[in-house]
Amino acid sequence: MIDRSKLWLGELNATAIAAAPDAPARVGCYDTTLRDGEQTVGVVLDPYAKLEIARSLDALGVDRIEASFPRVSADDAEALALIVGAGLAAEVWGFSRAVPADVEALLAAGVRSTVIESPVSDGKLAAYGLSREKVTERVVEAVSHAAGAGLRVCFFGVDGSRADLAFLERIFSAAVAAGAQEIAVVDTIGVLAPESAAVLVASARRWLGADVPIHWHGHNDFGLATAAAIAAVRAGAQWVQGTINGMGERAGNASLGEVALALDALYGIGSALRFERLRETSELVRRLSDYTLEPWRPLTGETLFVRESGAVASQFHDPPAIEPYSAELVRARRGIVLGKKSGLDSIRIKLEELGIERPAEDWPALLAAVKELGGRERRLVSDEEFAAIAAGGEGGR
């Protein structure tokens, strides 16, 4: 659980959030960066990059790592074998369609646990030319084969959020009867409101009973992936599937770190994630995947604890006044930058930071020079530029 002395939330959450009797005390973190995350357009991770990320995920405290879908390519099969053999503390999971050959590929790699997926919505079935009866037959065959070979199976119903609920209940029940020990409730297209996610998870709990662990897997097409995951957990989902940085196809997956922090900080539902390692893992995944991230991104954004506003700089000495949680929680750097929006306190703090002595009567002219440069160039003023301004006499002129 988070050190709550590092949270500055006010009292309203504690009094306004209704109790959730079906919510777990602790949520499991199931990371699918190496499979679903790699489906981000243009991202290709070679086997050794995947191994490096898996080791970082393990150090982060992720409980389960979905290492690969081996039948995609020889590289994916190699990555899975490397990660299985890496001696990680996290459970290593595979991914399979409801196809016996996919299960055989997982067994060959030495995996002991796997997701087995199948479409379950009528729209998806029509796209594949499958009937409900045929897809149920395939699921039962694949799950039985995997379970009979000693694999722990989580049945993953693709597009479950748009499935007919009566059929969803039947295919979930058939998968469990065939040997699936866990079930994933899946919002493949990211269409569910948080309230709807809660209803769907609660329905699955009612159908299957409290002894069958439920995963939540959601996408971010309406910007609600974190909120939907939280609602799903409060309705009884014990596992959240997500990715680092929320990467994935279209608008991406639920960001595992964001979900875990919000659950812990705002709802008191803990996880094993070590938040102080999250930014390190985020940066590694970004570098190896060759993409950039919005600088204002929660938890991992570069500007999360950096301030330009002069009004905020005047409060910079008092972190709880301007931040919801301590930068120490995620090992982020706090800092002041200079630009068009700076104020006199920004100048004071930056002079102290750089070890430059200028009397207070010079600060307004220095501020005017900073504002002029930042506004004219439409960017921040670097520390080197400010030092030159400060060394150049009043206003740097």
- Residue 228 and residue 110 share a domain: yes
pLDDT band at 392; cut points 50, 70, 90? confident
- Residue 332 and residue 283 share a domain: no
Q: Is residue 73 part of a domain?
A: yes
Q: Which residue has the tokens 């995997």?
A: 146
- Residue 331 and residue 195 share a domain: no
How does pLDDT run across 189-245, given as a tens digit for each residue? 999 999 999 999 999 999 999 999 999 999 999 999 999 999 999 999 999 999 999
- Residue 150 and residue 26 share a domain: yes
- Residue 310 and residue 285 share a domain: no
Q: Structure tokens of 215?
A: 């995963």
**What's the pLDDT score for residue 312?**
93
Calpha distance 271→185 (Å, rounded): 20
pLDDT band at 396; cut points 50, 70, 90? very low
For the chain, what is the domain count? 2
Q: Is residue 296 part of a domain?
A: no
Calpha distance 191→177 (Å, rounded): 29
**What's the pLDDT score for residue 1?**
80
**What's the pLDDT score for residue 15?**
87
Instruction: Provide mean pLDDT across the span 281-299.
Output: 95
User: Where residue 219 sits, what CATH number does that domain have?
Assistant: 3.20.20.70
Q: Which domain holds residue 367?
A: 306-396
- Residue 316 and residue 254 share a domain: no
How does pLDDT run across 358-381, given as a tens digit for each residue? 999 999 999 999 999 999 999 999
- Residue 326 and residue 220 share a domain: no
Calpha distance 319→174 (Å, rounded): 53
- Residue 239 and residue 280 share a domain: yes
- Residue 257 and residue 130 share a domain: yes
- Residue 333 and residue 273 share a domain: no
How does pLDDT run across 316-357, given as a tens digit for each residue? 999 999 999 999 999 999 999 999 999 999 999 999 999 999
- Residue 310 and residue 280 share a domain: no
- Residue 314 and residue 272 share a domain: no
Q: Which residue has the tokens 């998806």?
A: 124
With a threshold of 0.85, does the pTM exceed it?
Answer: yes
Calpha distance 71→77 (Å, rounded): 7
pLDDT band at 95; cut points 50, 70, 90? very high
pLDDT at 28 over 80: yes
* Strand ranges in the chain using DSSP code E only, listed in sequence order: 28-31, 64-68, 91-97, 113-119, 152-158, 182-187, 214-218, 239-242, 306-307, 335-336
Q: Is residue 100 part of a domain?
A: yes
